[in-house]
Amino acid sequence: MEHRIPRFTMAGVEDAEVSVHPFATEDELGLTLTRFRRGGQDGRDGHDDVVLLVHGLTSSSDMFIMPEHVNLVRFLHRNGYGDVWALDLRMSNRFPYNVETRRRDTLDDVACFDFPAALLNSAAARGRGGFMSSRTAWGRWRST
């Protein structure tokens, strides 16, 4: 029997409240943020830490929620981070932009368009401003 790894499944985060937040970048590209909240935690109980997970060049947010093992979202929830977001960048393998179109996006496009729009949209969805500080494979940014 062939074992297939499921794609686009939420089976790895069954105990989380999941919501998908589509948004558009300044250059009019549609992307998504997926929010995983532990047990309905809304961040108003003194736990204001919000984690934003960003995939690498050849993957997607699926790498953070794989059901085959204790994934990163589940690990963060178990360790006190109840509000975890995953960003699917323009280079996500969830989107066909680089395969089915003539777009030739670069990491500069990700930095100039994807990150600012994602941070603004996650802050708006959370209903608060302020800043979020994150670390990615590409370095660190801080937004106010």
What tens digit of pLDDT does each residue of 54-100 get? 998 878 998 898 888 889 999 999 999 999 999 999 988 888 776 67
The domain in which residue 85 lies consists of 11-129
- Whether the per-residue pLDDT at 141 is higher than 70: the answer is no
For residue 135, is it within any domain?
Answer: no
Residue 91 belongs to a domain? yes
Q: Domain for residue 139, yes or no?
A: no
Decide if 48 is inside a domain.
yes
pLDDT at 112 over 50: yes
Summarised one tens digit per residue, pLDDT across range 4-60 is 666 667 767 888 899 999 999 999 999 999 999 987 555 554 456 789 999 988 789
Give the torsion through C-alpha atoms of 97, 28, 24, 112, to 10 deg. 90
Question: Quick one: pLDDT at residue 130?
Answer: 46
Q: Please say if the pLDDT value at position 110 is more than 90.
A: yes
Specify whether the CB–CB gap between 51 and 85 falls below 8 A. yes
- 123: in domain: yes
pTM of the model: 0.78
Band (131; pLDDT cuts 50, 70, 90): very low
Q: Is residue 138 part of a domain?
A: no
Residue 105, in any domain of the structure: yes
Give the span between the Cα atoms of 5 and 7, in whole angstroms: 7
The CATH number assigned to the domain holding 42 equals: 3.40.50.1820
| Overall number of domains in the chain | 1
Instruction: Decide: helix, strand or coil at residue 105.
Output: coil
2 in any annotated domain: no
